[in-house]
A and B are shown apart, each in its own frame.
Chain A
Amino acid sequence: MSLRDQLTEIKQKGLADIDSTTDLKKLNEIRVHLLGKKGPITAALRGIKDLPVDERPEVGSYANKIRDAITQAVADHRENLENAVLNKQLAAETIDVTLPGKPVAQGQPHVIQQIIDEFVDLFLGMGYQVLQGPEVESDKYNFEMMNLPKNHPARDMQDTFYLSSEYLMRSQTSPMQARALEKHDFSKGPLKMISPGIVYRRDTDDPTHSHQFHQVEGLVIDRHITMADLKGTLITMAQKIFGDKFDIRLRPSYFPFTEPSVEVDVTCFNCMGKGCDVCKHTGWIEVLGAGMVHPNVLEMAGVDSKVYGGFAFGVGPDRFAMLKYGVDDIRDFYLDDVRFLDQFDKRGI
């Protein structure tokens, strides 16, 4: 048998041995045996010196190829064997991924807070400042400065919690209009503010009335602010808070501190304007009151109504939340039932 044939035989047998091995240790033994100094290839190569000189390089190179092929075969097979071991281990480690995750503690903002924060963020983006005022208010700011002099029919002692003849629990956030107007320096720019807060009414609590609820007041005063600006602002508000498909409409109304005064309806959440029981088949739901600030309010706060003017609006976040989430009892907001509060955990809005 020629040297070349010997080498070929070594290769064929070697590869077959490698292939049939299922054990890493055994594989290593085969490798050491085949490629080692005492192995068959080394032994065969010793016979090269007996060959004619011109044949030596060719057989030498053939022997190296066989050595490489076996090295490669061992490496490949090792990887296969190792993978098989790992796969077996991984298979043994399989878990039930449908078991529940470990509970973590995460609180939620109150649903009304979420609505207020939405308003705040929207109006901050439009360049408004946020003002907060006292919940115990004077009659002067709550009523008189809002163009509701004593004995005005629209101010009913019955509706307001008084602490004395002079002080009361504010029945609206509108006094913040007067407070803001008094403090504002118009030489520094227009007044654009919103003021969220708690208000109080002398009501008996029932599904649609609460003696405590929230309002967000808005006020924009400058040299040239129009009712069209009010309309545009409210449309922006409706679309940013509820969605692009929402529209608004204005209806005449009456508030002592605005003239003209309007009620603002927004497209019904429930039917998107088609008409349903929620909107009494009008397609619209009343959500807020607004208007152009009454000249008396400006003048009483020391602002020249011939030069400055603008709009104001007042929104009830409680009502917004009731409409938006289908809550049918306003008292639910103040009972703090954990099962109620924790439902409002979608922060992606």
Chain B
Amino acid sequence: MRLAYSWLKKYLDLDMPAKDLAEKIERTAVEVDSVTRGDNGLKKIVIGHILSMTTHPDSDHLHICSVDVGEDQPLQIVCGAPNVAAGQKVIVALPNSRIGGNVKIKRSKMRGVESEGMICALDEIGFSKDVVPKEWADGIYVFDDDVPVGEPVYHYLGMDDPIIDLDVTPNRGDMLSILGTVHELAAIYNQHPEIKAPVVNEDPSLRANDEIHATADHQLAKTYKLRVIKGVKIAPSPAWLQITLWNAGVRPINNVVDVTNYILMKYGQPLHSFDQDKIDGDITVRLANQGEKITTLDEEERELSTEDMVIADQKQPIAIAGVMGGFNTQIDDNTKDVVLESAIFDSFHIRKTAQRHVLHSEASQRFERGINPDTVEAAVNEAANMIQQLAGGHIAQGIVTASEYHPELPTIFITAERTNHVLGTDLSLEDIKQIFDRLGFSSESVKDGLNVTIPARRWDIHIEADLFEEVARIYGYDNLPATLPTGRQTIGTLTPTQKIQRASRQILEGLGLTQAISYSLTTEAKASMFLMRDSKLTKLMSPMTQDHSTLRMNILSGLLDDVAYNHAHKVDDVALYETGRVFYKDSDDQVRPEEVEHIAGVLTGNLTDPSWNNHVSPVDFYQLKGIVDQFITNLGVNGAITYTSTDRYPEMHPGRTADIAVHGHYVGFIGQVHPKIAKQFKIKQTYAFELNMQTLIDLPKTDDQYQAISKYPSVKRDISLLVDTSVSNDQVVELMNKRGGAFLHDIQLFDVYEGKNVPNGKKSMAYSLVYVNPRETLKDEVVTAAFEKVKKHLTDELNAEIR
């Protein structure tokens, strides 16, 4: 809502700078988008009088004008506007002036003829093309004759009037009007503006009810009123009205339509004007028939549905109610008789229609947010009167009323105690009453409180809490004390789950992975990758793009997108993890997916930067396995972590992927991303893991329990084996543990070798076995006996050759 400061001043005694007024509005009522002035940045633009005009010798459209700009000598200005003529008073940008778009105008030559400045069109000095009257759209603007030559133009175009643009919240539809804002400012500044009821100069020889009949469905139009003005003469509106409208952001059209728009801005009451001669019979407010068509004022043909409200005559719809008028009944230059409509249409239907037809007009916006039932009639009365003053004609006596609505005014009981209880203030009932007085709400003292009656113009107020807000904002939020909640103590701690979640992030960061956050909404294809269980897709009903159409069922695909983004930006080394939700569905019938917390990571390139003393090698399976192993260990999940080779993930390398289980519970997988998938994502060799974080959270945990460190020395024995390549480390370690005896404390694999000097199909593996007896010094023969036993079993059971 664009408020011209000068319009407000007609009702209120305001002398502060517009910026201060705007600030006050923002702090007390609604947000202010901007405070602007049309003449911002403009310089040396004056009213000129074209004394004479000749055609340019070298051009068929340029004219050479001699223009009086109030100086000793007239200026010679070349002008190409089609409507330029001698005798006109026009906008002249003088040499060294600045016009719209920060353009500087200098003395120049146009096809060899000197031009001392420029005669301007409205849009050239900063007007939006949307508000320039059609009359001046394709040429220069011409003033009425009574403007003073040589004066700056700004005042005569309303450009010196500050415009405060309000961003009105949905509840404050009352502020989408000058009068609504005046009431608000009156409360803020404690003033008592006089708002006069309009006088209508009716012609007793004409009776509205004889002119037209109307019926309305009360559900659709609570109030529906018409006035008739006969014998008007359509013409452009006077300059003051045009200025008022374009400052409000509305294009002036003619003296009838402009009046309806002026009233819309003043009262917040949308009006519509029909050409009476174009209406066929009685009119009615009804829902459209399915498939019914109407061509609206913007000359678009629109097909209507049974949810659209229309105004119809006997034959066809003549307007989409409250949204846009019909082309066929619009006011044109030959209109004589005008039917003015002032109504309250159902906001729900208006909203749906405006959305369906993408027709958000000044009118629809107001019907959606509410209309003051008190001024429906005043608005149409003032409009009729203004039309008569500006366009002549006779106002038929009376108002045609198809429906009428006078709401019962709500009365709300409020006490000082409750108000202070909620606001934390220390106001007396008298203080509160004064605030309601300023707001123009009548109040009556009853017992220890007030019965406050809410005027119809504040339809947003229904309950006690609404009144607390009125008190708080007029009293001033700055005046509220600042305290902290007191009362019963509460203990703020993270839950065990939250602690594990926080720890999980810190562990992975310590292991070198940076936290990523990617999108949960992805493509169908990516959503279905790296599945850890069977699941149906969860899709959005109406996605914005296919890229974000489906809920992810894995985190990895998002991380691979991240790797791809980094690679595309020449970052080869990526180590990321992400924790978040994946969404599973057991069947297509299930609407709400199950949300499961996962954690996943990717490694590609080098984990640390190569440097003069850091000779890195690219990450591999075992580097990531070390990270994952440390991660799960630090989470303290009870039981052994096991890795089982698997080829069940189509997106993973079939020979370099393992399922991970803790104490026999499947928790996720680790491995190399399948080269085909890597190619598809345009990424280099990448290693990845994804774990079900929820399972890790739910699995039983081991608490740390101190184990006394043996005071007796340990004994270490190394063993080197030659085994078939099919024998896994797990098999060897398991056997060693099983047969290693009571004192076997630790097993370390220190070498694996295949190749030269090792027979084909065999590999060499070397282990250190550490023996400890916590109670006494180990005797050499005890260790030897245990070690020999292990050797024997390795030979017998794994066909190992001890070297």
Q: Which residues of A contact B (CB under 8 A)?
A: 99-100, 102-110, 112-113, 117, 120, 123-130, 132, 134-136, 138, 151, 153-154, 158, 161-164, 166-167, 169, 189-190, 192, 198, 200, 202-204, 211-212, 220, 222-229, 231-233, 235-236, 249-254, 259-263, 282, 292, 294-295, 309-310, 333-339, 341-342
Contacts and interface: CB of A to CB of B under 8 A. Distances in A.
A136 B593 contact: yes
Nearest to A162: B541
B521 A232 contact: no
Given A153-B347, A263-B31, A107 B571 contact: no
A107 B505 CA distance: 10
A341 B515 contact: yes
Contacts of B593: 136
B385 interface: no
B538 interface: yes
B540 A254 contact: no
B569 A135 contact: no
A310 to B, nearest CB: 8
Nearest to A129: B492
A110 to B, nearest CB: 4
B795 to A, nearest CB: 41
A107 B575 contact: yes
Given A129-B490, A259-B468, A263-B31, A338 B369 contact: no
Identify the 4 closest CB pairs spanning chains A and B, nearest first: A105-B512, A228-B424, A226-B424, A260-B469
B613 A102 contact: yes
Q: Which of A102, A252, A295 has the most CB of B within 10 A?
A: A252
Given A136-B592, A136-B595, A192-B485, 5 more contacts: A109-B515, A128-B492, A161-B542, A227-B468, A228-B425
B556 to A, nearest CB: 13
Contacts of A138: 592
B492 A166 contact: no
A135 B520 contact: yes
Contacts of A204: 544
Contacts of B548: 211
B31 A251 contact: yes
Contacts of B469: 252, 259-261
Interface of B: 23, 26-31, 169-172, 347-348, 351, 355, 368-369, 421-425, 463-466, 468-469, 472-473, 477-478, 480-495, 498, 502, 505, 508-521, 538-544, 548, 551, 559, 562, 565-566, 569, 571, 573-577, 580-581, 583, 591-593, 595, 607-614
Given A130-B498, A337-B565, A108 B541 contact: no
A322 B490 CA distance: 33
A232 B485 CA distance: 8
B468 A231 contact: no
B412 to A, nearest CB: 13
B542 A162 contact: yes
A105 B566 contact: no
Nearest to B507: A107
27 contacts: A102-B614, A105-B608, A106-B509, A107-B508, A124-B494, A153-B347, A162-B541, A192-B492, A198-B520, A211-B544, A224-B487, A226-B483, A227-B472, A231-B481, A232-B482, A235-B482, A252-B29, A252-B477, A253-B169, A254-B172, A260-B472, A294-B465, A309-B422, A310-B485, A335-B565, A336-B517, A337-B569
A203 B544 contact: yes
B608 A103 contact: yes
Contact of A222 (B485, B495, B508, B595): B485
Q: Which of A161, A202, A228 has the most CB of B within 10 A?
A: A228
Contact of B368 (A153, A169, A224): A153
Q: Which of A130, A227, A236, A334 has the most CB of B within 10 A?
A: A227
Q: Which of B27, B424, B521 has the most CB of A within 10 A?
A: B424
A226 B595 contact: no
A153 B559 CA distance: 38
Contact of B369 (A153, A226, A229): A153
Contacts of B468: 227, 259-260, 292
Contact of A292 (B29, B465, B518): B465
Nearest to A189: B488
B477 A251 contact: yes
B421 A226 contact: yes
